Amino acid sequence: MTATLKQLSRLLRDKEISSVQLTRKYIEVIENRDPQINSYVTRCFDEALLAAERADKMIARGEAAPLTGIPFALKDNICTDGIETTCCSKILSGFKPYYDATAYKKLKDICAPLLGKTNMDEFAMGSTSETSCFGAPKNPRDLNRVTGGSSGGSAAAVAAGLAPFALGSDTGGSVRQPAAFCGVVGFKPTYGAVSRYGLIAYGSSLDQIGAIALSVEDAAIVFNAVKGEDERDMTSRKCPDIGELTGDIKGMKVGVVSEFFEGLSPEIKGAVERALKGLESCGATICEYSAPSLKSALPVYYIIACAEASSNLGRYDGIRYGFRAQNYSSVDDMIIKTRTQGFGKEVQKRIMLGTYVLSGGYLDAYYKKACLLRESIKEDFNELFERCDILVAPTAPNTAFPLGYTQNNAVEMYLSDMCTVPVNIAGLPAVSLPCGSDKSGLPIGVQIIGSPFNDSTTLNAAHALELCGVSKCKPEKGGVEL
Amino acid sequence: MSISVDEIKWLAKLSKLDFDDERAAAFSGDFDEIVEFADRINSQIAGDTTKIREVGGSEIAFADLRKDEVKESLPVEKVTSNVVSEGGYFTVRRVVK
């Protein structure tokens, strides 16, 4: 059986297992199992064992934090001082950051051993993790399917039992959607609740670091460890601790927005409806609403995200980071050749779209309109949260695609983000958790969405689904068992 | 909506990417698809966008900003350790002869 983070913490504190022993167990299963899954792109086992030794000393001194000594995995777009961080892009090959991301530093400071960096879509641009320059990770629930993306490696590592928890990043659903595809819990906190310092930027007004774990309680423990205001990220905010989750939701008003349910397969709709019945059985009231502005959420998201990406990725010039093209005639030629050879096809497409929507003549037609529509989406959510406490929606309109399927179906891949991107546009907290499976046995995810900085209410409602038996989550066989 | 090969090449120039005629022609179909997708917002809203607020602008007050104090910088030798560098500077091919 698999222990929860709370149980692992107790086992470590009671000296029933040492952090070194626990870390070795994970190293062993990663070495045996990951060649089939490809969830890790960089392994840092030596560093992990050193951190585990420090953790054991910290525990012996009685100074342990809840995650001290518990190993974890980190998405490859979160900077780690001296450890390669590539965003799974050729352009950052060999790049070793010279500072730690704040969220990672918080885990490092309490001696949580980092097992390695996880696979992802190049620069987090994608919904399948197939744009990685290291090749796609495979879904542990079915090795012929994608993991989802962009935090596919993190979700796959947790689902396969190759890490008890992982950090990912969520710009348009990149924590929640792979969590749904791999049958684990993915929590995207309120925008600003976790510092973005050291998270390699994609769409800065949308990006948010989140947790992937095997239960809602575990996700809350990880969130508590990494959250908080950071002077290096002016958008970060103080955020209260998530206390004990009781799952008590008596009297809670749960909103169902019809736009989230359009065009769903009967299997996914049925699974989400069962989750709603579960919440009702716990004492919540279900109310139905409509928010027409959500229909514009996908194009709004792609315009804003690509506009910000075209600017953020301007820094990759071959001078300051990783890869530099050979055989150039001038500095300008070097920059152009470096970027053309270093960025993959999807990244180049999004840079081009971002440049297009920001360029003279098109700024008003696209970018400014997208920003205006963003405000109306935010206002619609504000109004909804005046009438209810949480919203419930599917995480994705489909289960995991077969590998390679979206390569010639780009728009279909973008459409698969329809249920997750509104949350990023409005900066809301949301958690995805399993709520059943389709006829092929692939996991289906349900999403609980809360109002800004009500991360606690959001997680508590999700925990209620676990307590009433609607949501169950366990790793595939072959992972670490305790 | 159709984006011409010339427009693709112009965008590539702005993006510091290299698209020759052949690549631009192959890319234009793909790009049309994504621009059409983005164009869906134009069915949602038309006309004046002058009332737009800066994204997030209303949420960050000057009082929230950290004090304008000089703090320790990252060590130069670490920052330049990833790439070709010399004497604390990034090195590129000579520009001025």
Q: What is the DSSP string of A431-459?
A: EEEEEEE-TT--EEEEEEE--TT-HHHHH
Residues from chain A that touch B8, judged by Cβ atoms under 8 A, are 352
Instruction: State the count of interchain CB pairs (< 8 A) between A and B.
Output: 136
B7 in any annotated domain: yes
CB of A378 less than 8 A from some CB of B = no
Domain that holds residue B37: 1-47
B64: pLDDT confidence band, cut at 50, 70 and 90?
A: low
Angle between helices A216-226 and A455-467 (to 10 degrees): 160
Q: What's the mean pLDDT in B51-73?
A: 64
- A368 and B CB contact within 8 Å: yes
Kindly tell me if the per-residue pLDDT of B63 is higher than 90.
no
What's the CATH code of the domain at B30? 1.10.20
CATH architecture of A1-482: Alpha-Beta Complex (3.90)
Encode pLDDT of A333-391 as tens digits.
999 999 999 999 999 999 999 999 999 888 888 898 899 899 889 999 999 999 999 99
Query: Comparing C-alpha atoms, which of A329, A241, A287, A277 is closest to residue A468?
Result: A277
Residue A183: name the closest of A271, A242, A256 by CA: A271
Average predicted confidence (pLDDT) for chain A: 95
CB A281 within 8 A of CB A468: yes
**What is the predicted pLDDT for the residue at A1?**
61
Flag whether pLDDT at A464 surpasses 60: yes
In a domain, residue B9? The reply is: yes
- Residue A140, pLDDT score: 97
CB contact under 8 A, B37 and A414: yes
Task: Determine which helix (DSSP H) or strand (DSSP E) holds A272, and give its type and residue range.
Answer: helix A266-281
Is position B89 within any domain?
no
pLDDT level of residue B46 (50, 70, 90 thresholds): low
A310 neighbourhood in chain B, CB within 8 Å: 15
pLDDT, tens digit, 9 for 90 and up, residues A224-264? 999 999 999 989 999 999 999 999 999 999 999 999 999 89
Task: Look at residue B95 and tell me whether its pLDDT is greater than 80.
Answer: no
- Contact check, Cβ <8 Å, A334/B93: yes
| CA distance to A44, A132, A151, A346, per residue, from A123 (Å) | 21, 8, 10, 10
The alpha-carbon gap from B86 to the nearest alpha carbon of chain A, in Å, equals 12
pLDDT at A396: 97
Predicted local confidence at residue A482, as pLDDT: 77
Is B26 part of the contact surface with chain A (CB cutoff 8 Å)?
no
């038309």: which residue's tokens? B46
Q: Is B12 on the interface with A (CB under 8 A)?
A: yes
Say if B81 falls within a structural domain.
Answer: no
Query: What is the C-alpha R_g of chain A?
Result: 21
Q: How many domains does chain B have?
A: 1
Mutation for testing the B interface, residue in A98, A200, A333 having most B CBs under 10 Å: A98
Domain assignment of residue B10, yes or no? yes
Tell me the pLDDT tens digit for each residue of A285-295: 999 999 988 98
Give the Cα separation of A432 and A109 in Å (integer): 28
Q: Does the structure show a pLDDT above 60 at B47? A: no
Residue of A319, A371, A410 with shortest CB distance to B52: A371
pLDDT tens, residue by residue, A56-106: 999 999 999 999 999 999 999 999 999 999 999 999 999 999 999 999 999
Instruction: Yes or no: say if A179 and A432 are a contact pair by the CB < 8 Å rule.
Output: yes
How far is residue B42's CA from residue A122's CA, in Å, rounded to a whole number? 29
- What residues of chain A lie within 8 A of the CB of B37, using their CB? 298-299, 302, 411, 414
In a domain, B38, yes or no: yes
Helix (H, G, I), strand (E, B) or coil at B60: coil
A-chain CB neighbours of B39 within 8 Å are: 299
Nearest by CB: B45 against A96, A328, A369: A369
Cβ-based neighbour number of residue A387 at 10 Å? 10
pLDDT (mean) for B72-87: 88
Find the CB nearest B49 among A359, A364, A410. A364
Q: Return the pLDDT at B92.
A: 84
Is residue B54 pLDDT above 50, yes or no?
no
Task: Report phi then psi at A171, rounded to 5.
Answer: -100, -35
- Whether residue B70 is contained in a domain is answered as no
Q: Domain extents for chain A?
A: 1-482
Candidate from A21-35, A332-346, B73-87 with smallest mean pLDDT: B73-87
Could you tell me which chain B residue has the CA closest to the CA of A297?
Answer: B41
pLDDT band at A284 (very low <50, low <70, confident <90, very high): very high
Res A407: pLDDT:
79
Q: Which candidate in B13, B16, B70, B84 is best for mutational testing of the A interface (most A CBs within 10 A)? A: B16
Mutate to test the interface with B, among A369, A407, A408, A413 (most CBs of B within 10 A): A369
- What ipTM did this prediction achieve? 0.90
Q: Alpha-carbon distance A456 to A450, whole Å?
A: 9
Predicted confidence at residue A472, as pLDDT, reads 86
> Count of alpha carbons within 13 Å of B77, Cβ hemisphere only?
0
Share of chain A above pLDDT 90, in %: 87
Taking only residues 51 to 80 of chain B, the set having a beta carbon closer than 8 angstroms to any beta carbon of chain A reads 51-53, 55-56, 59-60, 64-66, 74-75, 78-79
Query: What is the spatial distance between Cα A127 and Cα A152, in angstroms, rounded to a whole number?
Result: 8
- Evaluate whether residue B62 is within a structural domain: no
Tens-place pLDDT, residues A305-340: 999 999 999 999 999 888 999 989 999 999 999 999
